[in-house]
Amino acid sequence: MKTKTPSKLEKILSAGHLAVTSECGPPRGSDPEAITKKAELIKDHVDAINITDNQTSVVRLSSLASCIHLKLMGVEPILQMVVRDRNRIALQSDILGAASFDIHNILCLSGDHQQFGDSAQGQNVFDIDSMQLIQTVRHMRDEGKFLGGDEIKRPPNMFVGAAANPFADPFEIRTPRLAKKIAAGVEFIQTQCIYNLDKFELWMQQARDRGLHEKAYIMAGVTPFKSAGMAKYMKNRVPGMDVPDDVVKRMAGVPKEKQAEEGINICVETIERLKECEGVSGFHIMAIEWEEKVPGIVERSGLYPRPEV
Partner 1 sequence: MIVAKRKPIEEIIEEAQGYEKILLVGCNECVTVCEAGGKKEVAVLASALRMHFMNQGKDVKIEEVTLERQCDHEYLEELRNQIDQYDAVISLACGVGVQFMAEKYMSMPVLPGVDTCFMGVTEERGVWSERCQGCGSCMLAKTAGICPVSRCAKRLFNGPCGGSTDGHCEIDKDVICGWQLIVDRLTKLDKLDDYEVLMPIKDWSTERAGGPRKVVREDVMQ
Q: CB of 177 within 8 A of CB of 129?
A: no
Looking at residues 191 to 210 of the shown chain, list those that interact with partner 1 (rule: CB under 8 A).
192
Q: Does 130 bind partner 1 (CB under 8 A)?
A: yes
- Closest approach, Cβ 112 to partner 1, in A, equals 7
Task: Give the DSSP letter string of 13-47.
Answer: HHTTPPEEEEEEPPPSSS-THHHHHHHHHHTTT-S
- Closer Cβ to partner 1, 17 or 235, answer by number: 235
SS3 state at 285: strand
From start to end of the chain, where are the E strands? 19-24, 48-51, 77-82, 105-109, 159-164, 188-193, 217-222, 280-285
Q: Does 180 bind partner 1 (CB under 8 A)?
A: yes
Distance CA 115, CA 108 (A): 20
Sign of the four-CA dihedral 158, 159, 160, 164: negative
Q: Does 7 bind partner 1 (CB under 8 A)?
A: no
- Closest approach, Cβ 84 to partner 1, in A, equals 7
Looking at residues 62 to 121 of the shown chain, list those that interact with partner 1 (rule: CB under 8 A).
84, 88, 110-113, 115-116
Looking at residues 28 to 47 of the shown chain, list those that interact with partner 1 (rule: CB under 8 A).
none
- Closer Cβ to partner 1, 64 or 184, answer by number: 184
- Closest approach, Cβ 129 to partner 1, in A, equals 4
- Closest approach, Cβ 166 to partner 1, in A, equals 10
119, exposed or middle or buried, with CB in 10 Å at 0-12, 13-18, 19+?
middle
Distance CA 282, CA 139 (A): 26
- Closest approach, Cβ 179 to partner 1, in A, equals 6
Looking at residues 208 to 227 of the shown chain, list those that interact with partner 1 (rule: CB under 8 A).
none
Of the candidate residues 1, 15, 72, 183, the single one contacting partner 1 (CB under 8 A): 183
Distance CA 224, CA 293 (A): 9
Segment lying near partner 1 (by CB under 8 A), choices 11-19, 127-135, 224-232, 282-290: 127-135
SS3 state at 283: strand
- Closest approach, Cβ 170 to partner 1, in A, equals 5
Collect all residues with Cβ–Cβ distance below 8 Å to 162 and sequence separation of at least 6.
107, 108, 109, 130, 131, 134, 181, 186, 189, 190
- Closest approach, Cβ 267 to partner 1, in A, equals 20
Q: Does 142 bind partner 1 (CB under 8 A)?
A: no
Distance CA 148, CA 269 (A): 48
Looking at residues 237 to 266 of the shown chain, list those that interact with partner 1 (rule: CB under 8 A).
239-240
Largest separation between any pair of C-alpha atoms in the chain: 62
Q: Which residues of the shown chain bind partner 1 in the complex (CB under 8 A)?
A: 84, 88, 110-113, 115-116, 124, 126-132, 135-136, 147, 163, 165, 168-170, 172-173, 176-177, 179-180, 183-184, 192, 239-240
